[in-house]
C-alpha cells in the first residue's frame, strides 16, 4: 500500500517507510512457515518507528528482526508487524582507547556484522555474535549467547522505544539479566511495552587477526554441528540447569522424528527443521511432543527458547 494512503488511514504524521497489507510471514521467518500479518511495516529510521507506533495506537505491535527465533502461527497476526532488519542499521565506533572501545549498534543490524566490525577495529569480545543468526534487537531482548558468551556481558546502555513512541536511554543496571532472560528491574504489569532500538557495547582491546581467526573457528563449528541446509529457528529449547536440551532429546530417541513437514534434526536434536512444506502447526505440535516425551522419560520440563506468536488456523 502506498505510504500516503497508510498515513491518511492512521490520521497521523506521514510515514516514510514501507507498509504492506496482508503480508505472508513465512517470507520473514527463518522457519519459512506461518500465517499472514494484517500490516507489515519497514520504518525508514528510528523517528519513523516512533511515528508508526503513534499512528496505530490501538493495534497490537510485533517487532521482528531476521525472524530467526520466531514461530508465527498459521492463523496469522492481527495488528502491525514492525520489521527492523536493515532499517535501524547504525553501526558506529563511538570511542576507542588502549583498553578497548564503545560500539553503538542499531537493533536491525545482523549480529554477525557486529562481530566482523568489532574485529576490524581491533576490539575483542564480540566474536561469538558471528554464531547468532539474528539481529542485535533480538539478541538484546533474549540475552542471546553461544560458545560461552552472552550479549549482556558487553552492554553498557541501551536505547529503547515505548508503545507511545517515546525514545529513552537505559543503563545495563536497569535490567535483570540471566540465561536467555532480560527484564527491567522491578517491572510491573503497568509498565508500557517497549522495544530495544539499539545498544552500546563495551569491548576490550584486541587483535584483528586473532578475532578473525576466532570467528572463522566459531563459524566452522556451527556449520559442522547445526542443520543449516534446512529452514530452522536455531535452538528450540533452553538448556536446563546443568544439562543440555539436545542431550535429553537425543536420549529419548527423538532425532529424526517427524510430524507433518517438521522434523527433529538428525544432526542436532535441539533443532527442528522444515523439511519442505511444514506448517507452523506441524512445528508447534512437534515441539509439544518433544516436551511431553522428555518430561515423561527424564522428568525435565523443556522451556522453549523460540517465541510463538499469532493465532492458530481456524478449522472451516
Residue 150 sits in the same domain as residue 43:
no
Tell me, yes or no, whether 154 lies in a domain: yes
Active site residue 118: no
Domain that holds residue 141: 91-225
Tell me, yes or no, whether 240 lies in a domain: no
pLDDT of residue 146: 92
Give 147 or 199, the one with higher predicted confidence.
199
Mean pLDDT across 165-180: 96
Closest CA to 302 of 225, 232, 234, 241: 241
In three-state secondary structure terms, 22 is strand
Strand partners, 161: 167, 195
Q: With contact defined as beta carbons under 8 Å apart, do 263 and 244 qualify?
A: no
Active site residue 235: yes
pLDDT of residue 147: 87
- Is pLDDT above 60 for 41? yes
Tell me, yes or no, whether 231 lies in a domain: no
pLDDT of residue 5: 40
Q: Given the residues 127, 235, 265, 284, select the one marked as catalytic.
A: 235
Tell me, yes or no, whether 95 lies in a domain: yes
- Is pLDDT above 50 for 47? yes
Convert the pLDDT of each residue in 74-105 to its tens digit.
999 999 999 999 999 999 999 999 999 999 99
- Is pLDDT above 80 for 109? yes
Residue 266 is part of a domain; what is its CATH number?
Answer: 3.90.78.10
Q: Among the three residues 83, 100, 118, which one is the final residue of a domain in this structure?
A: 83
Residue 102 sits in the same domain as residue 208:
yes
pLDDT of residue 7: 43
Closest CA to 273 of 283, 11, 136: 283
Tell me, yes or no, whether 48 lies in a domain: yes
Tell me, yes or no, whether 23 lies in a domain: yes
- Is pLDDT above 90 for 6? no
pLDDT of residue 131: 94
Q: Given the residues 23, 127, 284, 305, select the one marked as catalytic.
A: 305
Instruction: List Cβ neighbours of 285 (8 Å cut-off, separation of 6 or more).
Output: 259, 260, 262
Convert the pLDDT of each residue in 13-30 to its tens digit.
789 999 999 999 999 999
Q: Among the three residues 31, 65, 83, which one is the final residue of a domain in this structure?
A: 83
Residue 260 sits in the same domain as residue 216:
no
pLDDT of residue 315: 62
Q: Among the three residues 83, 108, 126, which one is the final residue of a domain in this structure?
A: 83
Write the DSSP string, 160-213. Answer: EEETT--EEEEEGGGEEEETTEEEETT--TTSPPEEEEEEEEEEEE--HHHHHH
Instruction: List Cβ neighbours of 12 (8 Å cut-off, separation of 6 or more).
Output: 51, 54, 55
Residue 69 sits in the same domain as residue 95:
no
Instruction: List Cβ neighbours of 274 (8 Å cut-off, separation of 6 or more).
Output: 31, 32, 33, 230, 231, 232, 261, 262, 283
Residue 61 is part of a domain; what is its CATH number?
Answer: 3.30.43.10
Residue 140 sits in the same domain as residue 258:
no
Active site residue 220: no
pLDDT-derived band at 188 (thresholds 50, 70, 90) equals low
Q: Given the residues 180, 202, 211, 284, select the one marked as catalytic.
A: 180
- Is pLDDT above 70 for 191? no
Residue 101 sits in the same domain as residue 184:
yes
pLDDT of residue 192: 59
Residue 72 sits in the same domain as residue 172:
no
Rounded CA separation 1/34 (Å): 22
Q: Tell me what percent of the residues of the chain surpass a pLDDT of 70.
A: 94
Query: Judging by beta carbons within 10 Å of its beta carbon (0-12, 13-18, 19+), is residue 49 exposed, middle or buried?
Result: buried
Average model confidence (pLDDT) across the chain: 93
Q: How many domains does the chain have?
A: 3
Residue 65 sits in the same domain as residue 107:
no
- pTM for the structure as a whole: 0.91
Convert the pLDDT of each residue in 49-66 to its tens digit.
999 999 999 999 999 999
Amino acid at each position: 500500500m502506498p505510504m500516503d494512503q497508510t498515513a491518511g488511514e492512521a490520521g497521523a504524521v506521514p510515514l516514510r517507510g514501507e507498509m504492506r497489507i496482508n503480508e505472508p510471514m513465512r517470507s520473514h521467518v527463518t522457519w519459512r512457515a506461518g500465517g499472514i500479518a494484517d500490516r507489515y511495516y519497514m520504518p525508514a529510521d528510528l523517528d519513523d518507528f516512533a511515528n508508526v507506533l503513534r499512528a496505530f495506537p490501538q493495534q497490537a505491535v510485533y517487532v521482528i528482526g531476521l525472524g530467526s527465533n520466531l514461530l508465527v502461527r498459521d492463523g496469522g497476526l492481527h495488528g502491525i508487524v514492525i520489521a527492523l532488519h536493515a532499517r535501524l542499521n547504525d553501526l558506529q565506533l563511538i570511542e576507542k582507547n588502549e583498553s578497548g572501545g564503545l560500539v553503538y549498534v542499531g537493533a536491525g543490524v545482523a549480529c554477525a556484522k557486529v562481530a566482523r566490525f568489532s574485529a576490524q577495529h581491533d576490539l575483542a569480545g564480540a566474536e561469538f555474535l558471528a554464531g547468532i543468526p539474528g539481529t542485535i534487537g533480538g539478541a538484546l531482548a533474549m540475552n542471546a549467547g553461544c560458545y560461552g558468551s552472552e550479549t549482556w556481558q558487553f552492554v553498557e546502555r541501551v536505547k529503547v522505544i515505548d508503545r507511545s513512541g517515546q525514545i529513552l536511554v537505559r543503563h545495563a543496571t536497569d535490567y535483570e539479566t540471566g540465561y536467555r532472560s532480560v527484564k527491567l528491574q522491578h517491572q510491573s504489569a503497568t509498565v508500557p511495552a517497549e522495544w530495544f532500538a539499539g545498544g552500546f557495547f563495551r569491548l576490550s582491546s584486541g587483535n584483528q587477526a586473532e578475532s578473525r581467526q576466532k570467528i572463522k573457528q566459531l563459524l566452522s563449528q556451527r556449520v559442522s554441528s547445526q542443520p543449516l541446509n534446512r529452514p530452522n529457528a536455531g535452538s528450540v529449547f533452553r538448556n536446563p540447569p546443568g544439562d543440555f536440551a539436545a542431550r535429553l532429546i537425543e536420549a529419548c530417541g527423538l532425532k529424526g522424528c517427524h510430524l507433518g513437514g517438521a522434523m527433529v534434526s538428525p544432526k542436532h536434536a535441539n533443532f527442528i527443521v522444515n523439511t519442505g512444506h511444514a506448517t507452523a502447526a506441524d512445528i508447534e505440535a512437534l515441539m509439544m511432543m518433544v516436551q511431553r516425551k522428555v518430561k515423561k522419560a527424564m522428568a525435565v520440563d523443556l522451556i522453549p527458547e523460540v517465541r510463538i506468536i499469532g493465532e492458530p488456523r481456524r478449522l472451516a
